[in-house]
């Protein structure tokens, strides 16, 4: 059963990318291309296997990412953005731009 969407468009967006890991996972796949689980885990220091798995499943359920399993030994699984997930690019680009501006305005060069 599909869950009912909020009347608020911002709340709908946040319900799909409601934590830092989801946004970082989307950004990683968006800018680096299709990724395997291990590549995502390596690219996102601090994320646990459990949290990565939960977020990937949630975003797959939300239609943002596609999980492709290859019938090989050992099994290979790749994650890529769907068209819907790719449509978040302006949102991610805006967040990057804002973060860069913030860093410049606060003179933080780390």
Domain parsing of the chain, residue ranges? 18-103
- For the residues of 10-71, what is the DSSP string, one character each? HHHHHHHS-SHHHHHHHHHHHHH-SEEHHHHHHHSTT--HHHHHHHHHHHHHTTSEEEEEE-
Q: What is the pLDDT of residues 7-47, one digit of tens each?
A: 888 898 888 888 999 999 999 999 999 999 999 999 999 99
Q: How far apart are CA 88 and CA 22, in angstroms?
A: 12
Residue 109 has a pLDDT of: 62
Q: Do 52 and 37 meet the contact criterion of CB atoms below 8 Å apart?
A: yes
Q: What is the pLDDT of residues 52-103, one digit of tens each?
A: 999 999 999 999 999 999 999 988 999 999 999 999 999 999 999 999 999 9
Residue 107 has a pLDDT of: 80
Domain 18-103, classified CATH 3.40.50.20, yes or no: no
Q: Which two tokens stand for residue 14?
A: 């946040």
What pTM value is reported for the model? 0.86
């Amino acid at each position: 059963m599909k869950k009912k969407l909020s009347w608020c468009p911002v709340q709908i967006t946040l319900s799909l990318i409601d934590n830092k890991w989801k946004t970082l996972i989307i950004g990683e796949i968006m800018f680096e291309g299709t990724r395997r689980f291990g590549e995502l885990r390596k690219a996102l220091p601090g994320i646990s296997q459990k949290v990565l798995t939960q977020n990937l499943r949630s975003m797959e359920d939300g239609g943002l990412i596609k999980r492709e399993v290859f019938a090989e030994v050992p099994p290979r699984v790749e994650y890529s953005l769907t068209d819907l997930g790719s449509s978040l690019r302006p949102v991610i680009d805006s967040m990057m731009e804002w973060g860069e501006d913030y860093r410049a305005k606060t003179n933080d060069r780390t």
